[in-house]
Amino acid sequence: DTEVTQTPKHLVMGMTNKKSLKCEQHMGHRAMYWYKQKAKKPPELMFVYSYEKLSINESVPSRFSPECPNSSLLNLHLHALQPEDSALYLCASSLDGTSGYNEQFFGPGTRLTVL
């Protein structure tokens, strides 16, 4: 299994809602990532988990809360988002989070719209 899966594919939420994005991989990878991608822009790194510990937080607002329950799962909890947070949210995984040369495998993304 060489896939990273993400659910849901699409999500529409109001600014007062709480929702979660889910990411899963079964490749035995020990690093997982959340990226945000706006239209016609490259992905921007948000968080990195390495061996289930948060290793990088790119100064992301606290309305985004990541969670790594185990080595295969990564969640992104959303609360009180703003319309400008509407974007494609991509999850990725790699063999580890320290080598630099391990390629990252990306999921198909969740298209989030905040009304």
Instruction: State the minimum distance, in angstroms, from the CB of residue 113 to other proteins.
Output: 13
Query: Site for other proteins (CB under 8 A): which residue of 4, 21, 74, 87?
Result: 4
Diameter of the chain measured on Cα atoms: 40
Query: Site for other proteins (CB under 8 A): which residue of 18, 26, 38, 41?
Result: 41
Rounded to whole angstroms, how far apart are CA atoms 81 and 70?
26
Decide: is 7 part of the binding site for other proteins (CB under 8 A).
no
Instruction: State the minimum distance, in angstroms, from the CB of residue 80 to other proteins.
Output: 26
Residue/partner pairs of 7-11 with CB below 8 Å, 24 or more apart:
7/110, 8/110, 9/108, 9/109, 9/110, 9/111, 10/110, 10/111, 10/113, 11/110, 11/111, 11/112, 11/113
Of 50 and 79, which has the nearer Cβ to other proteins? 50
Binding region for other proteins (CB under 8 A): 4, 6, 31, 40-43, 45, 48, 50, 55-56, 88, 90, 92, 94, 96-109, 111
